Amino acid sequence: MKSLEELYKRAIELKNKGMSDKEISTELHLSVNTISWLLSKNIGETKIQDVKIGWRSIGVYGSRIGHIAEIMADIISEEINIDDLDSVLGITINGIPFATFVSDILGKELMVYRPHPSGKEGLFSSNFAGVKGKKIVVIDDVISTGETMKNTINDIKNQGGQVLLCVVLVSKLNIDEISGTRIRSVIRTTMVG
């Protein structure tokens, strides 16, 4: 874990290079809110604010994941016409169990996507449905910087698919769209102080 001073120094360096708070958040793997806070504070005064998301109490039982997936499927039904939807895509690893249940609940194809660790082109697993020409809902557990979701949307578009909606358990971003695609979360975390 980097010290707060190191993070602050690095954030200032990147800011001076002309990067936006969003770009710095991606580079340092922190939320945009954290970067904005970091750049506006006199370091040493207060503790850094970020939220670590843990959902083990859900993950230890498939049935509990199924209950969350019911909520996700309900949100999807609220947002889009289910008849328009072809497929449900899970982002590895943590999006897959939720996407599997949602696919079953909605009676749609299942896709599995593995993001590239450095943000290059990711992989669509050939053991699951193919992307080309499909209308897709993307499922993951958490949006933190939003970089994974952005790359997923771009890779789907590049493979000839269309993303209708993205649904996550928790979003740390106070935004409703990524790359022009609607984002819904079961829970949203927002910094208030």
Ligand X SMILES: O=P(O)(O)OC[C@H]1O[C@H](OP(=O)(O)OP(=O)(O)O)[C@H](O)[C@@H]1O
- Applying CB under 6 A, does 92 fall inside the site for ligand X? yes
Q: Which stretch binds ligand X (CB under 6 A): 79-87, 88-96, 98-106, 183-191?
A: 88-96
List Cα–Cα distances, 38 to 9, 101, 172, in angstroms.
Answer: 10, 39, 16
Q: Which of 34, 87, 145, 181 binds ligand X (CB under 6 A)?
A: 145
Q: Side chain identity at 38, as an amino acid letter? A: L
Handedness of CA 59, 99, 120, 190 (dihedral sign): negative
- Applying CB under 6 A, does 152 fall inside the site for ligand X? no
By beta-carbon proximity to ligand X, the closer residue of 77 and 158 is: 158
- Applying CB under 6 A, does 90 fall inside the site for ligand X? no
- Applying CB under 6 A, does 146 fall inside the site for ligand X? yes
By beta-carbon proximity to ligand X, the closer residue of 27 and 109 is: 27
Residue 84: φ, ψ to 5°: -80, -15
By beta-carbon proximity to ligand X, the closer residue of 91 and 129 is: 91
Q: Are 124 and 159 in contact (CB under 8 A)?
A: yes
How many Å apart are CA 100 and CA 111, to the nearest integer? 9
The closest alpha carbon to 72, from 89, 56, 93, belongs to 89
Q: Are 182 and 165 in contact (CB under 8 A)?
A: yes
- Applying CB under 6 A, does 143 fall inside the site for ligand X? yes
Q: Which stretch binds ligand X (CB under 6 A): 1-9, 80-88, 90-98, 131-139?
A: 90-98
Q: Which stretch binds ligand X (CB under 6 A): 13-21, 32-40, 91-99, 101-109?
A: 91-99
- Applying CB under 6 A, does 148 fall inside the site for ligand X? yes
Report which DSSP code applies to 180: T
Binding site for ligand X (CB under 6 A): 91-94, 140-148
